[in-house]
């Protein structure tokens, strides 16, 4: 039953992509890329889904991947900064996990090249999930018999439970989190009533103002690049009162990863798909509304004081990028059998 269920899930994701009709470079690719050493299978997707929802990957059993990247909704937690173990606050807003499979670098600063590499970060982050080591994560997974069996089914071998395989399973599940067939996609495919006249005006403002110089491509996150290369832009690029108001320059962005001054305040360009659902905005979650985010971007990136009508039109266009979300049910997690190994939790 499980294999059939997730075969259908993968098939429906692929069908949704194909339904968007690849008539333009501004639609999502028809194929979700996966690395050669981690081909997507129904068994990995099932396991990855359970791991994504399981708070036992955190040291005290309170935080899961879904806590910050809620796929029952926007793929974010809609907070300025996320809450980790012991109520600790992270320093950046959680980016959406929807369509992250199409990004060539992960995290705001691009410090992870792949979804697999990204999935390894939060469990060991002392603010997010707080596990002390990879070995501690593997020990906990090995103490849950249901997971041991599923890792064997997904990866084979007697040592199937590993930190690398945990990340591979989560990444495989995340590659099914695609939202194609937005009003915009249907409009490009020839359904001319799919976008309102206001949204069409907003598309023209978006393009004529130069917003698509950065937010290009099918994911509206820049050009397709080799995995790990990433597409970065300085933000803010132009000095304005918004910098002080929203503290836009306090976090040095990619510079914190590379220590190269050329990367000061540079960020991976985020996708605009489903952007209307992912407030608050920017790396620090400092801007509460989409219309204000449009004004900030126009000023700080393009030097434009955009009028209210154009703002409203661009917002209507951005709303047309909300895609169709696949139906995802909450998983039944494998039971804890030995509470002394998993329970004390801290």
Contacts of 5 (CB under 8 A, 6+ apart): 42, 46
Residue 268: enclosing H or E segment and its boundaries? strand 266-268
CB-CB contact of 184 with 60 (8 Å)? no
For the record, the structure tokens of 262 come out as 């050329």
CB-CB contact of 32 with 175 (8 Å)? yes
* 51: phi then psi, degrees, rounded to nearest 5: -65, -35
CB-CB contact of 9 with 130 (8 Å)? no
SS3 of residue 128 by DSSP: coil
Distance of CA 20 to the CA centre of its chain: 20
Distance between CA atoms of residues 280 and 134, nearest Å: 32
Distance between CA atoms of residues 183 and 191, nearest Å: 9
**Which class for 337: exposed (0-12), middle (13-18), buried (19 or more C-beta within 10 A)?**
exposed
Q: Pick the catalytic residue: 128, 174, 250, 292? A: 128
The DSSP bridge partners found for residue 89 are: 83
Region label for 253, one of left (φ > 0), alpha (ψ between -120 and 50) or beta (otherwise): left
Active site residue 128: yes
SS3 of residue 106 by DSSP: strand
Give the distance between the most distant pair of CA atoms in the chain. 63
Q: Which residues are marked as active site?
A: 128
């Amino acid at each position: 039953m499980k294999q059939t269920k997730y075969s259908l899930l993968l098939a429906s994701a692929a069908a949704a992509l194909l339904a968007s009709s690849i008539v333009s470079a501004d639609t999502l690719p028809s194929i979700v890329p996966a690395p050669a050493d981690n081909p997507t299978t129904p068994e990995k997707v099932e396991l990855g889904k359970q791991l994504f929802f399981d708070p036992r990957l955190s040291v005290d059993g309170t935080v899961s991947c879904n806590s910050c990247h809620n796929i029952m909704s926007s793929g974010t937690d809609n907070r300025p900064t996320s809450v980790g173990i012991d109520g600790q606050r992270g320093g950046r807003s959680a980016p959406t996990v929807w369509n992250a499979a199409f990004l060539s670098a992960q995290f705001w600063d691009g410090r992870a090249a792949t979804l697999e590499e990204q999935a390894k970060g939060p469990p060991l982050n002392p603010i997010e999930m707080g596990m002390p080591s990879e070995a501690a994560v593997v020990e906990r997974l090995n103490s849950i018999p249901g997971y041991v069996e599923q890792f064997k089914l997904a990866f084979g071998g007697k040592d199937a439970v590993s930190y690398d395989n945990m990340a591979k399973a989560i990444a495989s599940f995340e590659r099914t989190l695609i939202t194609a067939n937005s009003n915009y996609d249907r409009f490009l495919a020839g359904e001319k009533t799919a976008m309102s006249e206001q949204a069409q005006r907003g598309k023209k403002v978006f393009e004529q103002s130069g917003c698509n110089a950065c937010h290009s491509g099918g994911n509206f996150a820049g050009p397709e690049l080799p995995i790990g290369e990433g597409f970065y832009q300085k933000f803010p690029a132009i000095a304005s009162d918004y910098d002080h108001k929203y503290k836009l320059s306090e976090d040095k962005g990619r510079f914190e990863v590379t220590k190269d001054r050329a990367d000061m305040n540079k960020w991976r360009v985020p996708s605009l798909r489903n952007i209307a659902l992912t407030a608050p905005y920017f790396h620090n979650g400092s801007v509460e509304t989409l219309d204000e985010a449009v004004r900030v971007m126009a000023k700080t990136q393009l030097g434009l004081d955009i009028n209210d009508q154009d703002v409203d039109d661009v917002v209507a266009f951005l709303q047309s990028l909300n895609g169709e979300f696949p139906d995802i049910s909450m998983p039944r997690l494998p039971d804890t059998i030995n509470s002394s190994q998993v329970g004390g939790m801290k």
